[in-house]
Amino acid sequence: MKPLVFLLFFQTFNLLAQRSNTHVLPKKYSLSSSLQNEDIFISLGAYYNLRKSFSFELRYGVGVRRTFFQQTLFSKVDAVFCYNLFKFDLWSFGPSVQCSTLSLAPKLFKPIQRYYVAEVGYSFAFGKKIKGVQSSFIGYRTTEFTSVKHLYSYIGYVFQLGLRYGL
């Protein structure tokens, strides 16, 4: 049942993107690598220009150490809001807010550890059709084990480098 829900999620997202060419279709796709407390992540994302100088990016990534070197899925989903304080043809810069959830799951859909992240930072983008993006965040994190109902809080960081490709 759970794999079916997962596939439906992708299908729904896909249909939404195709139907709404005029205003919902992501203007850009992104590929990024981020160094953070828990692992080094590689992420794919969709970038949307919202009203005025606001933008939104949704990313899905996997931790390199755990996923590729230890064959244990360590995934994360990021939602990033950015206000482009300085926005020019060639570059933009502005404060950002990032919310993420990370999940370490040795067995599919049975995570043993989850993380919840809320951070503030900045994003800097440079380029025309293909933009280089650098962003950094610092903020509050909590983690919990599925079998132990107690949250552990700490301060964490993210340093991120990526590329954004405009269609």
Partner 1 sequence: MVYKLFILLFLLIVSCGKKPKLPILVIGHGGNGLNFPGSIYHDNSNEAMDLALSTPNVDGVELDLRMAADGTLWLYHDEQLGTETKSSGCVGAKNSNQLLAIRYKSFNKEKLAKLDQIEVFLEGEKLLFLDIKHSNSCQNNSEDVNQYLASLSDWKVKVNNPDKRVFVVLNNRDWIEPFIFSGWNVLFSSDENDLRDKLMADFTEIRGFVCKNKLCTKKQVDDLKNKGKGIYLYEVRSPKALKELREKNPTGVMSDDLQGAIVEFK
Q: What angle do CA 1, 143, 118 make, to 5 degrees?
A: 95
Q: What angle do CA 49, 43, 97 make, to 5 degrees?
A: 50
Tell the smallest beta-carbon distance from residue 84 to partner 1 (Å).
23
* Among positions 37, 49, 53, 134, the unique one binding partner 1 when judged by CB under 8 A: 37
- Give the nearer residue to partner 1 in terms of CB position, either 113 or 134: 113
- Give the nearer residue to partner 1 in terms of CB position, either 84 or 119: 119
* Among positions 143, 158, 160, 164, the unique one binding partner 1 when judged by CB under 8 A: 143
* Residue 103 touching partner 1 (CB under 8 A): no
Cβ-defined contacts of 96-99 (< 8 Å, 24+): 96/120, 96/121, 96/122, 96/123, 96/135, 96/137, 98/137, 98/139, 98/158
The residues in 145-164 that bind partner 1, with binding defined as CB under 8 A, are: 145, 147-148, 150, 152, 154-157
Residues 142, 115 contacting (CB under 8 angstroms): yes
Instruction: Output phi, psi for 84, to 5 deg.
Output: -80, 90
Name the nearest CA neighbour of 99 among 77, 114, 124, 84.
77
Tell the smallest beta-carbon distance from residue 99 to partner 1 (Å).
19
* Among positions 44, 58, 97, 163, the unique one binding partner 1 when judged by CB under 8 A: 44
Contact positions vs partner 1 (CB under 8 A): 6, 10, 13-14, 29, 37-39, 44, 46, 60, 62, 65-67, 69-73, 104, 106-108, 112-113, 143, 145, 147-148, 150, 152, 154-157
